[in-house]
Structure 1
């Protein structure tokens, strides 16, 4: 399956595993890459830049195919050493970088000087156009259906992908709501040349997540996600659980809500504990509406091959409508 995305990244299929906190580890990234997609290690999942160097080396023992590193740069009172993580990736042979959040021009220049291809993830066309002007190689754009932070514009993929495809000249990757060959075919019909999946890759055999969490994602319908942090203007989509229900209840209290009121429920370490122990009451489980399309736990190879076959079938069936 040849597109500008496969040509740019040197992969067989235009399917990218999103960089997910606590999930983007060598086990999953290598499995996706071995299956013909692009696996992604999440830099900030590792506690230090040195730990990222070791994870890159570990991933190389598990695949000889291309994989990338995600670096999400967010404003923070105590920011992690972003540039040190960037250097850890660049100095250890990583040649594909998925960026998200802020995208400093100096980081782009440093990466490009090493021959790195940059895929920038964003949630609006205006940010995509800005990243394109700053020199990134491809755009991954998140529709409102996605897990994580879909932005504040609330535009679903059906419209967002089509608008972005009209305005962006570099390769476009559709993200959010993609979980099978039908949705992949729809993204291509709208003008994308690749797809990015997070939640769907969480529900694979190689994902480093407790089986009880995978089962909860299989059992969930498309109605069973919550939008949290709405009142804080930092919307996040997560699985509907007692924890996320409590967050919403606090946000809706008369008089409003400050982050300190919910911090004890939403910390990243508690989310990591939930993924590792399978305890849905331990912390947030980030998940998109695509859970409604997920009904099994395949290997990454099985998932990707099935998606590609179904995508081809759907595109072929659609092309018959023009004859």
Structure 2
């Protein structure tokens, strides 16, 4: 049997920053897809910290600052050395003009603000200043470049150097990049001095694409990996969507086969999904989003379930994992 503890500390790369093995993704408490009362979001964050999810991830994008503001209300009463927090840069927030339509960003009821892409050096600094104000903090532990898919060259020329200066000044403890793809992340790892990458949806029981380039690059360079989207937007947690769209029939069939193997070992599919990434030595943490206190408790309980080694062997034998995939010991 293999098991992990939610609050097991793991260092990011060569930095002095440590994260909990199970992290708290704070996008849902900003009202992702459907509005969420502030009090519920704040209770969720408090429960996550109490349950050992002491690594908290947020971003200005999440509810146009709502996630950061709600976290700030919670963290005001929490000792600063008891949690690790990451936020992201690349989108600036500004007041929305009367003639402008709301952003179609998946957070109904968010403040009347507009997002503007900005990976320039000044934009990076301004974004972080706004985040610190909303969070009520004087520093954050990790800053990720957020979805720079169309801004790769500006990352090299401006965004990364600005973050490196802030790291040298001690304003941030670690630098990373967070994306829903692995190819560009692999290029960043090879060209930049990143402490971590946040790879969403590309190293799961259903999608192993990060295994081809990103994970070997991280292992070679000593860069830690945080895995987001471990449920592939819900399908591996009992939902019907895969990567934020209705799941194709062949993917649903694969989930049925995965669930059958897990059931034979008495392991919920959610537990296997949370544990799978830790087979690779570069992976430091998994980052599911939690909307309610019940979801926090469910994720924590699933994470700490014992998973027999034979389950991974059966998945390999069934061709549900590619041959040679590293699996948890």
Q: TM-score range by the shorter chain?
A: 0.3 to 0.5
TM-score in terms of structure 1 length: 0.40
Higher relative contact order (CA 8 A, sep 6+): 2
In proportion to residue count, which structure has more helix?
1
